[in-house]
Amino acid sequence: MTKDLTILLAGPRGFCAGVDRAIHIVERALEKFGKPVYVRHEIVHNKFVVDSLREKGAVFVDELDQVPDNVPVIFSAHGVPKSVPAEADRRSLTYVDATCPLVSKVHRAAERHFDREHPVVLIGHEGHPEVIGTMGQLPDGAVILVEDTEQAQTVELPRDVPLGLVTQTTLSVDDTKDVIAILKDRYDNLELPKKEDICYATTNRQTAVKLIAPKSDMVMVIGAPNSSNSKRLVEVARLNGCERSMLVQRASDINFDDLDGVATLGITAGASAPELLVEEVVEACRLRYNVTVKFETFTKEDVIFKLPASLSD
């Protein structure tokens, strides 16, 4: 006898405005310039998206020195150090910057603090492309990286000048608040951002997961293993009532034996995961269970970011 399965679909989920813009930038560049268009790093952290763009004519490389002369190149949504466009200018390469506008806002905030001779504290994960890009807006040594509460308790910072604070946009909202609270308690010269650097999409997806986690026997987050915001969703689900939470890239990755004893499955998707992959997972469940889908929508999103002027003609 086929078992019943209730699926709670979290909303919002999946693509955010920055990811949607970055993908459209690659597609529009291919239309405008023709094949091939080179992309430095994965345009967004999702294998399905990257493979789809590769099939259309995009060539993904790790560094600019892998880009031939006289071909267009796109910088990923995570942002790049200033040295990258500077090198592209030196080589007279045509380039399009697909950095998410919300990441660019963090870059500008870091620059403003530096211009006022304030040491810059960045909360983020070492080695993440966004962190590399933000730190690369300023000279070496100008940004002090704090990764977690443990580092916040031990880091030594100046006390005689204001400290500027910026954060990676895809962090756990709750974890970041804890880090900020520790830093603020230790350093009363810390200047907090006027508005949270963590982007609206990250915040909304984490809030939606907090709503479905207590009602779910398992939460499945669709996203890539190198996607910061997707991994944070798994952590948030576990911390908010659903220890059985996992990250999967797509339906073919699921071991359905893991769903033994699951009557209610919560599903969400990271900000770089297309809705097509969500539909694929739901359909895979329908093939095995009597599925009832319930939508648990926290809020609606209507944010749209314009394409760069060089592509909008």
Do 206 and 232 fall within a single domain? yes
For residues 47 and 49, give the distance between their C-alpha atoms in angstroms, rounded to a whole number: 5
Do 189 and 226 fall within a single domain? no
CB 21 within 8 Å of CB 311: no
Query: Which domain does 204 fall in, by range?
Result: 4-15+200-297
32 lies in some domain: yes
Query: Which tens digits make up the pLDDT trace of 155-188?
Result: 999 999 999 999 999 999 999 999 999 999 999 9
170 lies in some domain: yes
CB 75 within 8 Å of CB 97: yes
Is beta strand 163-167 parallel, antiparallel or unpaired with respect to 58-61? unpaired
* DSSP SS3 for 14: coil
Q: Domain of 21: which CATH number?
A: 3.40.50.11270
Query: Which tens digits make up the pLDDT trace of 94-128?
Result: 999 999 999 999 999 999 999 999 999 999 999 99
Give the pLDDT confidence score for residue 196 in this predicted structure. 75
Give the pLDDT confidence score for residue 125 in this predicted structure. 97
CB 180 within 8 Å of CB 197: no
Q: Which amino acid is at 284?
A: A
85 lies in some domain: yes
Q: Domain of 106: which CATH number?
A: 3.40.1010.20
Query: Which tens digits make up the pLDDT trace of 219-238?
Result: 999 999 999 999 999 999 99
Please count the structural domains in the chain: 3
* DSSP SS3 for 272: coil
Question: 63, 111, 130, 296: which is the annotated catalytic residue?
Answer: 130
Q: Choose among 249, 246, 234: nearest CA to 48.
A: 249
Q: Cis link prior to 12 (omega < 30° from 0)?
A: yes
Query: Which tens digits make up the pLDDT trace of 238-278?
Result: 999 999 999 999 999 999 999 999 999 999 999 999 999 99
List of residues 6+ apart from 12 with CB closer than 8 A: 201, 204, 205, 208, 297, 298, 299, 300, 301
List of residues 6+ apart from 218 with CB closer than 8 A: 242, 244, 245, 246, 258, 259, 262, 264, 265, 266
Do 119 and 151 fall within a single domain? yes
Do 120 and 188 fall within a single domain? yes
- Tell me: pLDDT of 195 over 80: no
* Residue 130 is a catalytic residue: yes
List of residues 6+ apart from 18 with CB closer than 8 A: 77, 100, 101, 102, 103, 199, 201, 271, 305
